[in-house]
Every structure is written in structure tokens, then in C-alpha cells.
């Protein structure tokens, strides 16, 4: 072994030493150490150029990791099929390794950092043998921007490199920004599938052992064994939410699992809105909303993550730290999300969707009727009589934000945009009304803290089961969740003192009738709820009180225009005292599960809600 390893190690170290001139010595040293330990065949520093991307894509086509799609139907686009055991985030294998357990909180898997480092050290030893180690410098946010942060991901997956190239500002420009005083996040990733000399590779290398480990204090992420999405594209959930939520605690800003959009009303007034919905609950769709009410325009700034910080005037400003969309394919179609369909016409990497006989992609919901024959996401023949979906429910597209037709001019403004409204929402078959407005910032924080949703395919677990997903951050909070709530209270209080915090609302597009069908048509019709929220901000709508805050008064939303009947409308706002009491009891148990750190302000809001329920 040692004899084989020796020359490889030397070549790896030599290449690491030949890092770009602009590379900070700390990065070079870190890469060198990692290369000596993980023993890749070679080390490649990525510059983010088009030729580099083309080379990586060619290599992946050669190894079968991706399949080129028909160049007339879908120019510049590819299909990747993952290992069937590597299809979503693995929350049970995601760890927060803060020094103190109380800083991770009861809803994160905590492992003492020293123990996790030892485990990872063992796993990473020789893990990249037979592979190339890519060094991927990246910026989260516009390069040079005030809220922008930097990181370096080291990975042995070309699929991850190409994904990082789409999802972040990746390459030489980002690297040049990391100087001796720049804080940068270390992201180490391996698929955990070393190759022996002469051993043939597989299309999607990964391991049955998986560790997605975060060290909030030292701003590090170490990911082993998966190449899928948030497990491996470490700029995204690992850095921009888990590590960023820890940085935000130290610096007084908020990392949020939120889309960002700009909306212009018929009178020309512009609003910026951030919305938190749990995974696979409609962020991408809402960010690309095509209003059905004439005179309203919605533009897209981001579809998954927002960083929110006090601006120079004290009001809250937000940026989308990402540069692309890693969006859910199933359910995306011309009738639901035409903007996404336009965005996906070229230069897309699809993962785990089905392949048509003419070299294009297909997934459930893209057309009403499936083609008569497909190759499904596992590579098997598929016909409409098959009793399994052709595309995996968590199949996704990776595409540059810049090619979205509704992308807003200010989506990459380094200063960010001033926020007017914040929305929380989840999938709730019962209880939660279509739309309501928080009575205060504290009430809004309570709405976020007690947010619940039925599970989706975006992570392992039983689809449909109700779980609390505070701030849509349950799987993404790198700190104790109640500390996250405390920070929200503090940041809001400061913004209010400085001239105004955004108004907070709650929505639910997913309430069902007795027949089990959605009561609300959703998608483009969601503008009715959004317009009401912004009318409230402008003082053009009054609303009426309810246990959930202000809800639309009669006549304030023209639901008939959305083809919703009076009975459906009533059901969308139906209040069942017994069910709401049970809901409040559940919320109380949920808050208790976070112990003494739960802010009094949040508990007080539950008491207010209970009183309102008792009075029904």
C-alpha cells in the first residue's frame, strides 16, 4: 500500500503547492494537508471558467455520471441519475458539532467536536484515492458585496464542482477576495468511494456511510459519503444556513430558508418580500409567481436562501447568497410554473428525472399525460401502467438564476434589498388559514417558531406526517433553535427602533376539504393573498381579528376570480375550537421541548392565541 501511495501523495502535494498566485496561504496549507491525508491522484484548483466547466462535463459524460440531452430540444443540458440510496438530504446523518451541546440544541444531532474529528479523520484517510481532488473557491452573494461571505469546498465529485459553479459565484474572482483577514468557511467533501488501482468507477460513486458534519465555531463543514444536493453542495444548506446561522448569532444577522421576490402593485409601488416555507413547500413556485390579477408584477430574487441584516439606515436588507436554483422537478409544468419551464429550456443539469425516447426529460406534472415509454430515474424501462413514479419525488434541476426570465434587476445588488414583508407557510391540511397577518413582530416570531408542515420527499422520513419546522429551519439551524428565535426578536426590535421592521404574515396554500382535495388553486392565484398582504401594509385593507392574527375581511379578496366558491372560501378560514385547542396544546409541548431558552415573548404569544381560541 505504502509503495503505491507514495508517488501519489507526492504528486498531490506538488499540485497543491502550485496553487494560483492569488490563493491565501491558509487555503493552500489546508488543501495540502487534506491532499496528503485523502490521497487523491491529483489536485485541481478550479477557476470557474467556461472551458473548465466544459472539461468537467465531458469527463462526466465519459464516465456515465451524466447523459447529454438532445441538443435541439434541451441545448447544453444533461441528466444525472444518482445511486438509488443517495436521493435526498439525510437528516439523521447531519451533525452539529458545537463545543457545547446546549449550543446545538435538542433538535440537532450533536456530537462533541473532538469525537467527530476523530471519526472524520479516519474516514477521510485515503478516501479520495484514484480520484481528483477539486479545490472550489466560492462567494455567497455578489463578489465584493457588504453581506457576501467566502468559502472553499474541496471535493472529489465533478458533479459537485459543476453544481457549485451554477449555485455560487465560483472560481478565481472569489479566491482573489480571500485575503489574510477574510473569514472563509472550510468545506471538505468526499463521496467516500476510493478506487483501487485499475478498479472501474461507477456512474454515481457514494458510500453507505454518511456524515454531514458542521463545526459552527471553527466555521467548517465536513461531508462524507453522499453526492446529493444539500449533503454535498456545501455552499447551500451547510454553509449558507447552518454555519451562517452561527455567524449571524455572533454578528447580529439572520440566515433564513427563504425565497426573495419583488412585487410591483398596480399603482407602481414596489415591495420586497421574503418567505419561509419548508423544503418542497413552494418557495421556488412563489418566487416565480405569475400573477393572475392584472396590474401586478412579480420578479424573482431568490428561491431558497436569504441573508437578512440591518442596513445602513437600520432597516432590514436581504440578499440571495446563491447564484442558481436547485429546484424540485415534480409538479413543475406550464400550468403551474411557466417561468420555471422557460428557465429550464437550456443549460440545465437534471438529476433523477426520467428520460424520453427522443432524448429529453420528463417528470410527473410536466405534462398531464406521460409519454408511452420512458427510461425512469433508476435507468429502467417505464410505461404508464407502472405503479411507480418515473421521476424520483425529490428529482431536481440545477440552473443559473441569471437565465430566469423574471429575474429582477436588483437580484445581485451587493447592497441587497430593503424588506417590506416576511411570510411563513407550510403544508397544512387543516387549521391554518389561507392568509393571516401577525399582530406584531413578536407574534410573527411566534408564527415562525411554531410553523408546522406535512413531511415531503425532500428528506428521508414518512411523507405526509406533520412535524413542527420552526422558521422552515429545523434541518438547517446550526445553533440552538431557541437562540435563533431570540436573535429574530432582537434583530426585529432593532429594526423597529430604527424606523420599521417588515410586516409578518402566515400563509397556507395546502388546506384540504372533506374530499381530501386542495381548497385553494395555488400557484398564480397566490397573488390574491400576496396582494392582500401588501394592501395591509399600504393601509388599503382592514382585515378582522382571529386567533391567527388579522385575516381578510369580507370583500377584501375577490376569490371568485380564482374560481373559489363561497363554501371553499369559508373552509379556507374555518376555525374548529377543539382542533385549535389541540393545536395550541401541541405548540405548548413543542415549545417546552426547547426548555428554558424559549423566549418569554414567544410563550406570551401562545397565551394570547389560547385566549382567542377560548373565545370562539
Per the annotation, does 230 bind a ligand? yes
Binding residue for ligand GTP, selected from 397, 485, 509, 559, defined by CB under 6 A: 509
Query: Shortest approach of ligand GTP to residue 322 CB, angstroms?
Result: 11
CA nearest 191: which of 248, 236, 132? 132
Strand, helix or coil at 387? Answer: coil
Interface with ligand GTP, residue 303, by CB under 6 A: yes
How far is residue 165's CA from residue 47's CA, in Å, rounded to a whole number? 10
Of 46, 187, 281, 477, which is the active-site residue?
281
Q: Which of 80, 4, 11, 105 is nearest to 593 (CA)?
A: 105
> Is 206 tagged catalytic?
no
Query: Which residue intervals of 329-368 are DSSP H helices?
Result: 338-343
C-alpha 127 chain-centroid distance = 28
Smallest distance from Mn ion to CB 9, Å: 39
Does 89 participate in binding ligand SPV (rule CB under 6 A)?
yes
CA dihedral 246, 477, 426, 149 (to 10 degrees): 40
Within 109-195, residue ranges assigned H as helices are: 113-124, 158-167, 172-177
Q: Which stretch binds ligand GTP (CB under 6 A): 97-105, 278-286, 406-414, 608-616?
A: 278-286
Q: Does 86 bind Mn ion (CB under 5 A)?
A: no
**161 closest CA partner among 89, 283, 66:** 66
Residues 299/280, Cβ–Cβ less than 8 Å: no
DSSP 8-state secondary structure symbol assigned to residue 395: -
Smallest distance, ligand SPV to C-beta of residue 280, A? 7
Classified as helix, coil or strand, 73 is coil
Q: Tell me the CA distances in angstroms from 271 to 181, 265, 425, 494, 534, one per residue in order.
A: 36, 8, 19, 21, 8
Chain residues 275-334 in contact with ligand SPV, contact rule CB under 6 A: 279, 304, 326
**Does residue 277 interact with ligand GTP by CB under 6 A?**
yes
Q: Which stretch binds ligand SPV (CB under 6 A): 230-238, 243-251, 426-434, 599-607?
A: 230-238
Question: Is 531 buried (19+), middle (13-18) or exposed (0-12) by CB count in 10 A?
Answer: buried
265 annotated to a ligand binding site = no
257 marked as binding residue = yes
- Tell the smallest beta-carbon distance from residue 55 to ligand SPV (Å): 25
427 is in an annotated binding site: yes
Binding test (CB under 6 A) with ligand SPV, winner from 141, 230, 444, 448: 230
* Residue 461 in the binding site for ligand GTP (CB under 6 A): no
Q: Is 229 annotated as a binding residue?
A: yes
From the list Mn ion, ligand GTP, ligand SPV, none, which binds 194 (C-beta under 5 to 8 Å, kind-based)? none
Q: Does the annotation list 395 as a binding residue?
A: yes
Cα–Cα nearest to 448, from 228, 599, 267, 225: 599
Taking the CA atoms of 167, 169, 172 and 178 in sequence, report the sign of the dihedral they define: negative
Q: How far is the CB of 517 from Mn ion (least distance, A)?
A: 26
Q: From ligand SPV, Mn ion, ligand GTP, none, which one binds at residue 237 (CB under 5 to 8 Å depending on kind)?
A: ligand SPV
Least CB distance from residue 157 to ligand GTP, whole Å? 20
Contact call for residues 173 and 138 (beta carbons, < 8 A): no
Binding piece for ligand GTP, criterion CB under 6 A, among 50-58, 291-299, 327-335, 370-378: 327-335
Query: Residue 311, annotated ligand binder?
Result: no
Residues 272-311 that bind Mn ion (CB under 5 A): 279, 304
Known catalytic residues are 281
The binding site for ligand SPV (CB under 6 A) comprises: 89, 229-230, 236-237, 279, 304, 326, 458
Residues contributing to the site for ligand GTP (CB under 6 A): 277, 279-285, 303-304, 327-328, 330-331, 336, 458, 509-510, 518, 522-523, 526
Amino acid at each position: 500500500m505504502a509503495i503505491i501511495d507514495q508517488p501519489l501523495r507526492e504528486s498531490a502535494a506538488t499540485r497543491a503547492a502550485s496553487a494560483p498566485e492569488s490563493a491565501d496561504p491558509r487555503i493552500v496549507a489546508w488543501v495540502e494537508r487534506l491532499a496528503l491525508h485523502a490521497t487523491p491522484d491529483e489536485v485541481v484548483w478550479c477557476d470557474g471558467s467556461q472551458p473548465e466547466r466544459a472539461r468537467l462535463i465531458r469527463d462526466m459524460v465519459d464516465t456515465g455520471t451524466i447523459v447529454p440531452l438532445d441538443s435541439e430540444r434541451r441545448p447544453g443540458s444533461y441528466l444525472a441519475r444518482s445511486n438509488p440510496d443517495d436521493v435526498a438530504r439525510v437528516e439523521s446523518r447531519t451533525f452539529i458539532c458545537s463545543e457545547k451541546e446546549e449550543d446545538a440544541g435538542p433538535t440537532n444531532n450533536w456530537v462533541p467536536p473532538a469525537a467527530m474529528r476523530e471519526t472524520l479523520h479516519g474516514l477521510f484517510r485515503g478516501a479520495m484515492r484514484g480520484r481528483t481532488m477539486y479545490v472550489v473557491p466560492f462567494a455567497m452573494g455578489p463578489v465584493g458585496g457588504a453581506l457576501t461571505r467566502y468559502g472553499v469546498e474541496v471535493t472529489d465529485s465533478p458533479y459537485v464542482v459543476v453544481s457549485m459553479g451554477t449555485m455560487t459565484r465560483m472560481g478565481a474572482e472569489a479566491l482573489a477576495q480571500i485575503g489574510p483577514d477574510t473569514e472563509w468557511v472550510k468545506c471538505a467533501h468526499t463521496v467516500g468511494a476510493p478506487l483501487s488501482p485499475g478498479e472501474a468507477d461507477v456512474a454515481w460513486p457514494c458510500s453507505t456511510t454518511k456524515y454531514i458534519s458542521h463545526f459552527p465555531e471553527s466555521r467548517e463543514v465536513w461531508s462524507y459519503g453522499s453526492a446529493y444536493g444539500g449533503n454535498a453542495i456545501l455552499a447551500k444548506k451547510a454553509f449558507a444556513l447552518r454555519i451562517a446561522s452561527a455567524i449571524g448569532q455572533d454578528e447580529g444577522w439572520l440566515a433564513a430558508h427563504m425565497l426573495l421576490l419583488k412585487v410591483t402593485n398596480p399603482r407602481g409601488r414596489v415591495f420586497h418580500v421574503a418567505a419561509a416555507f419548508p423544503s418542497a413547500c413552494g418557495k421556488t413556485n412563489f418566487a416565480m409567481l405569475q400573477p393572475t390579477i392584472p396590474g401586478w408584477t412579480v420578479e424573482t430574487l431568490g428561491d431558497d436562501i436569504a441573508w437578512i441584516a440591518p442596513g445602513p439606515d437600520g432597516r432590514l436588507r436581504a440578499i440571495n447568497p446563491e447564484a442558481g436554483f436547485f429546484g424540485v422537478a415534480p409538479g413543475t409544468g406550464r400550468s403551474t410554473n411557466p417561468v420555471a419551464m422557460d428557465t429550464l429550456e437550456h443549460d440545465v443539469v437534471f438529476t433523477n428525472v426520467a428520460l424520453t425516447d427522443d432524448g429529453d426529460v420528463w417528470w410527473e406534472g410536466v405534462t398531464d399525460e406521460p409519454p408511452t415509454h420512458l427510461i425512469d430515474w433508476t435507468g429502467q424501462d417505464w410505461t404508464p401502467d407502472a405503479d411507480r413514479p418515473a421521476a424520483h419525488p425529490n428529482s431536481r434541476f440545477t440552473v443559473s438564476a441569471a437565465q430566469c426570465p423574471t429575474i429582477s434587476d436588483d437580484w445581485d445588488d451587493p447592497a441587497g434589498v430593503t424588506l417590506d414583508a416576511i411570510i411563513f407557510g407550510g403544508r397544512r391540511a387543516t387549521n391554518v388559514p389561507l392568509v393571516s397577518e401577525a399582530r406584531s413582530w413578536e407574534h410573527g416570531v411566534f408564527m415562525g417558531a411554531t410553523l408546522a408542515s406535512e413531511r415531503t420527499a425532500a428528506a428521508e422520513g414518512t411523507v405526509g406526517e406533520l412535524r413542527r419546522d420552526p422558521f422552515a429551519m429545523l434541518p438547517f439551524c446550526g445553533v440552538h433553535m431557541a437562540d435563533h428565535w431570540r436573535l429574530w426578536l432582537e434583530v426585529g426590535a432593532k429594526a423597529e427602533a430604527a424606523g420599521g421592521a417588515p410586516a409578518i404574515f402566515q400563509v397556507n396554500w395546502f388546506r384540504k376539504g372533506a374530499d381530501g382535495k386542495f381548497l385553494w388553486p395555488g400557484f398564480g392565484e397566490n397573488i390574491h393573498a400576496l396582494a392582500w398582504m401588501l394592501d395591509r401594509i399600504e393601509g388599503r385593507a382592514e382585515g378582522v381579528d382571529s386567533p391567527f392574527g388579522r385575516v381578510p375581511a369580507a370583500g377584501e379578496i375577490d376569490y371568485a376570480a380564482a374560481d373559489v366558491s363561497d363554501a371553499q372560501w369559508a373552509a379556507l378560514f374555518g376555525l374548529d375550537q377543539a382542533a385549535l385547542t389541540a393545536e395550541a396544546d401541541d405548540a405548548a409541548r413543542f415549545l417546552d421541548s426547547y426548555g428554558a431558552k424559549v423566549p418569554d415573548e414567544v410563550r406570551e404569544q401562545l397565551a394570547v392565541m389560547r385566549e382567542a381560541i377560548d373565545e370562539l
